[in-house]
Amino acid sequence: MKYHPFAMERWQSTYEHRVRFNLSESGVHPLSVTELLSLADLDPDTLDVRLGYGQSNGSDDLRKLIADLYTGATEASVLVTTGGAEANFTAFWELMEPGTSVAVMLPNYMQIPGLLESFGAHIHPFHLVEENGWQPNLNELEKGLRDGARFILITNPNNPTGAVLDDTSVSGIVELADRHGAWILADEVYRGAELSGPETPSFWGLHDRVLVTNSLSKAYGLPGLRIGWVVGPAEMMETLWGRTDYTSITPASLSDVLARVALEPATRLKVLARTREILTNNIALLSSWMDAQKDRFRYRPPDAGAICYTRYHTSINSAEFAEILRTEMDLLVVPGDHFGMDHYLRLGFGLPATELEEALERMATTFDTVEERARPAN
């Protein structure tokens, strides 16, 4: 297995706790344990967990709560992992071999193409089209399948665009998968973080060869629990479970308990309602700020997730601009270069509103400074 550096994660991991304003995060401001227990009407003093090894594929109760989110799934259909990253890694480790052909939606969470390259897979990209509301080019997908792709990898809702696949795109992907006998691997980590309307339907149950991954990190505001999962055929979950013997061995026992609290149906609704309130309040601030600078930006408001993917018209390279923001303004954003798309920025807006407002002011000041520096001297 050849290691391919994960540029975005290295950028975030290195600096996100060393800046005052973090707009690189794509989830909402995290809950504290006390806040979570309050939403569940539980007394924090009653949380007494012995810190031993937990059930290594996730407790039966947790897997039942997760299975209930997917029509027709059972506890045997679920493997609990240490975050969504391990869910994706374990699935790819099982399915990918050198030379395996895979159709990959781009832009995407870059762990996905990075892992595929590390496992030696051959990537057939199919692109989301900005002018079409970031919906996929299904002709490109069909070409990849005709050229031998055995798997279709998608993120829905999408990272970095925040777009949700419409019904036409979903049915088109499923129809092509049926026709070519391909697996669909769907990362659905932003499901539940919609800014309006119903929860994004899962790909689970739409096709007989589907693996779905998800976690508590984004829509639930609980990234510190490091709880993720894979949903798929029961016999495959047994095999994936064996692979985690070589990775994390087991999710943390305390995290398993708190995940059960968060996913209890009544509490889950409260957690997701909190997420939507943060998103709707903050997107209003962000949109107002961007609309006031419409000559500087082009953007489509996201459907889901605390992320806005915007194209800017200043000539500076995106990674260069992000470095100026970090070093001069104590502010972290994700440059479009990390997605192979210069002159874009991924702006996270899930932080407290007062911090978001000040961060945006600093960004506007930096754009002014950069543009002033670029003007020719008289």
One domain for residues 140 and 211: yes
Closest of 264, 224, 240 to residue 83, by C-alpha: 224
> CA–CA separation, 142 vs 126, rounded Å?
9
> CA–CA separation, 226 vs 290, rounded Å?
33
**Token pair listed for 190:** 């932003």
- pLDDT value at residue 377: 67
Among the three residues 263, 292, 324, which one is the final residue of a domain in this structure?
Answer: 263
Average pLDDT over residues 318-334: 98
Tell me the pLDDT tens digit for each residue of 119-138: 999 999 999 999 999 999 99
> CA–CA separation, 306 vs 27, rounded Å?
5
CATH number (domain holding residue 360): 3.90.1150.10
Among the three residues 263, 288, 308, which one is the final residue of a domain in this structure?
Answer: 263
First-residue to last-residue Cα distance in the chain:
56
Tell me the pLDDT tens digit for each residue of 158-174: 999 999 999 999 999 99
Asked whether residue 121 is domain-assigned, the answer is: yes
314 Cβ partners below 8 Å, 6+ apart? 296, 321, 367, 370, 371, 374
One domain for residues 192 and 238: yes
Q: pTM of the prediction?
A: 0.95
- Return mean pLDDT, the chain: 96
Residue 147 scores a pLDDT above 70: yes
One domain for residues 101 and 159: yes
One domain for residues 240 and 319: no
Asked whether residue 376 is domain-assigned, the answer is: no
Look at the chain and report how many structural domains it folds into: 2
- pLDDT value at residue 372: 86
One domain for residues 108 and 189: yes
SS3 165: coil
- pLDDT value at residue 375: 77
Among the three residues 263, 298, 333, which one is the final residue of a domain in this structure?
Answer: 263
Asked whether residue 349 is domain-assigned, the answer is: yes
Asked whether residue 2 is domain-assigned, the answer is: no
> CA–CA separation, 377 vs 358, rounded Å?
31
Tell me the pLDDT tens digit for each residue of 232-291: 999 999 999 999 999 999 999 999 999 999 999 999 999 999 999 999 999 999 999 999
One domain for residues 215 and 98: yes
Average pLDDT over residues 151-164: 98
Asked whether residue 119 is domain-assigned, the answer is: yes
Give kind and range of the element (H or E) at residue 346: strand 344-348
> CA–CA separation, 64 vs 77, rounded Å?
9
Tell me the pLDDT tens digit for each residue of 21-76: 999 999 999 999 999 999 999 988 778 888 999 999 999 999 999 999 999 999 99
Asked whether residue 230 is domain-assigned, the answer is: yes
Residue 344 scores a pLDDT above 70: yes
Using only C-alpha atoms, what is the Rg of the chain? Answer: 21
Residue found under tokens 């290195």 = 14
52 Cβ partners below 8 Å, 6+ apart? 253
- Whole domain around residue 292: which residue ranges? 7-31+268-370
One domain for residues 304 and 188: no
One domain for residues 351 and 277: yes
Q: How confident is the model at residue 376 (pLDDT cuts 50, 70, 90)?
A: confident
Asked whether residue 378 is domain-assigned, the answer is: no
> CA–CA separation, 321 vs 259, rounded Å?
38
One domain for residues 329 and 235: no
Asked whether residue 192 is domain-assigned, the answer is: yes
- pLDDT value at residue 208: 93
One domain for residues 259 and 274: no
372-378 long-range contacts (CB < 8 A, ≥24 apart) are 374/314, 374/315, 374/316
314-323 long-range contacts (CB < 8 A, ≥24 apart) are 314/367, 314/370, 314/371, 314/374, 315/374, 316/370, 316/374, 317/342, 317/343, 318/342, 318/343, 318/344, 318/345, 321/345, 321/366, 321/370, 322/11
- pLDDT value at residue 378: 63
One domain for residues 279 and 337: yes
- pLDDT value at residue 2: 83
One domain for residues 160 and 298: no
CATH number (domain holding residue 207): 3.40.640.10
